[in-house]
Structure 1
Amino acid sequence: MTLTNQKAVTTGHIFDALPRDLDTELFDILVENNNVKIERIVSNGHSSPDSGWYVQDRNEWVIVLQGEATIALEDGHTVSLIAGTHLNIPAHTKHKVIWTKEKTETVWIAVHY
């Protein structure tokens, strides 16, 4: 079948090419357009810097596919995430990653919309 006036169809595997030694978190943009960005994040004992918060103009929905993490919200709440747990963070909500499991890759999908 020939597709006309369409971009190439792509495929991949979310667990492909997971680095074993990470000095910093890995962010891979999987899909992006004017309305949405979907990225894979790989953490291994990483957390956000002590100073500052993430504050974004778009909503962010995250799901942990493998590993574990804890996110802190500016209002003092923390959310623990294990494989299969998801969280929606409204735009302009201050948040940070305060913990990810060490010695294992925590694989996230983040959807910014």
Structure 2
Amino acid sequence: MRKFFLYLVPSLFFVASLLLMTSGGWLKEPVGKSDDVLFHVENIEQYIQEKRWEEAASEHKKALQAWDQVSKRVQFSAERDIINEIKGSLSRIKGGIKAQNANTTLSEIYYFYGLWEDLT
């Protein structure tokens, strides 16, 4: 019996660790409406193109709240650099919205899309 547990416990730990480390792709997906980061960023893009800056700022706040929820889920399965880059990208989007600079904001949004795809 002891030999059974000697092999079972490390094997289960290895499998659990492997599952956790490879789960970034489905952990970034929204669980509810409040944590859909990609949806909020796509709305920001639409508002920027329509020059609706107040709505874009409001949607940005929702995106930050959603990212706070998602980042806690993916922190063990994604690289720390990508998580920090996404947070930085969202901050630069905020700066572009405050400056009402559509070119800067849109380029940062597309950079965010690339980071989001890499978050697996």
Q: TM-score range by the shorter chain?
A: under 0.3
Calculate the TM-score normalised by the size of structure 2. Answer: 0.27
Which structure shows the higher strand fraction? 1
Calculate the TM-score normalised by the size of structure 1. Answer: 0.28
Which structure shows the higher helix fraction? 2
